[in-house]
Chains A and B, each alone.
Chain A
Amino acid sequence: QLQLQESGPGLVKPSETLSLTCTVSGGSISSSSYYWGWIRQPPGKGLEWIGSIYYSGSSYYNPSLKSRVTISVDTSKNQFSLKLSSVTAADTAVYYCARTWIQLETFDYWGQGTLVTVSS
């Protein structure tokens, strides 16, 4: 059974960079059938896609966040990572990693999520 697990600091100071890693188990991140992405959810609000990456390193981002986001992949560790720079309180959210099944155009597996709070 595929599992995704987010990890990283739960508290980040304003203007600093938020860094999270998603570890994939039960399947290979190097499969040609999937993209791997990040989605966030501010407390009490809806879902927002941040960006996604292919095992080759090809990535695409939400236009509204593109200037601050970098997503990378480490196939040797079966992990992919998110960096979001210059964070503010508005970036406080639960951050989920998820798998995109390319053929079916859907996020079919999600991590449990990790809360990141931006505060001094």
Chain B
Amino acid sequence: QSVLTQPPSASGTPGQRVTISCSGSSSNIGSNTVNWYQQLPGTAPKLLIYSNNQRPSGVPDRFSGSKSGTSASLAISGLQSEDEADYYCAAWDDSLNGFWVFGGGTKLTVL
């Protein structure tokens, strides 16, 4: 069972806006920044969002992140077929001398 909680699946049609939630606690999301990773089938995870809402160079502005309290969200607007992938949230957890924690992942299907 993952420390951060994500819905196992999400879906949308091309052009739609989809959001994926990530719920944590005061020791992780509540006190540290959140990152989001995209994992296309058969490939390594790729950094999508860092510091809650920052996009690395090359990531389309269709992807956006937000954080409030002990929860975070990833939003994808103008959904495209190539967005079909697994999405993971991650944060540093301050408990037990500190360690990285991930969400269980959300499989996004573009219908």
Contacts and interface: CB of A to CB of B under 8 A. Distances in A.
Contacts, number: 62
A48 interface: yes
A49 B99 contact: yes
A1 B50 CA distance: 20
Interface residues of B, number: 27
Contacts of B63: none
Interface of A: 37, 39, 46-49, 52, 60-63, 96, 104-108, 110-113
B47 A107 contact: yes
A111 B43 CA distance: 10
B45 A47 contact: yes
Contact of B47 (A60, A62, A96, A106): A106
Nearest to A52: B100
